[in-house]
Amino acid sequence: MIRIEGVDAVTDADFDGEVLKAALPVLVEFTADWCPPCRQLAPVLAAVAEEEAGRLKVVQIDVDSNPEITGRYGVLAMPTLIVFHGGEPVKSMVGARPKRKLSQELEDVI
């Protein structure tokens, strides 16, 4: 998994506690080492994590190492971004996108 500054990694084991029980909305990137668009998205997620600190938590989960959560949310393409709020998925996006577009897409959920 591509490590992104300011973005924590979650696993099948700690997903519910870190994401579903979080006080803030959480943007989860479902990612994989072999995914070129995931690498393109890394600096975008780092910037969003920094700019929205205190309003949005950003985490990533490796789909190859964490099949339970990946399957639970029906993730088939990488990168998939899902925003969770109050323990429920409230928005889903597939594919890399520029920061401006991602910020616009997040406006209604944070």
- Cite the active site residues: 35, 38
Asked whether residue 43 is domain-assigned, the answer is yes
What pLDDT, on the 0 to 100 scale, is given for residue 36? 96
* Structure tokens belonging to residue 73: 């949310």
Q: In total, how many domains does the chain have?
A: 1
Asked whether residue 2 is domain-assigned, the answer is no
Asked whether residue 26 is domain-assigned, the answer is yes
Confidence tier at 95 by pLDDT (50, 70, 90)? very high
Asked whether residue 110 is domain-assigned, the answer is no
What pLDDT, on the 0 to 100 scale, is given for residue 2? 80
Domain that holds residue 44: 8-105
Taking the C-alpha atoms of residue 73 and residue 76, their distance in angstroms, rounded to an integer, is: 9
Asked whether residue 1 is domain-assigned, the answer is no
What pLDDT, on the 0 to 100 scale, is given for residue 39? 95
What pLDDT, on the 0 to 100 scale, is given for residue 3? 85
pLDDT digits (tens, 9 = 90+) for 53-76: 999 999 999 999 999 999 999 999
pLDDT exceeds 90 at position 1: no
What pLDDT, on the 0 to 100 scale, is given for residue 17? 98
Asked whether residue 40 is domain-assigned, the answer is yes
| 37-to-2, 18, 44, 60, 103 alpha-carbon distances in Å | 11, 25, 11, 14, 18
Asked whether residue 39 is domain-assigned, the answer is yes
- Would the pTM of this model clear 0.95, i.e. be above it? yes
CATH number at residue 49: 3.40.30.10
Specify the 3-state DSSP secondary structure of 71: helix
Asked whether residue 3 is domain-assigned, the answer is no
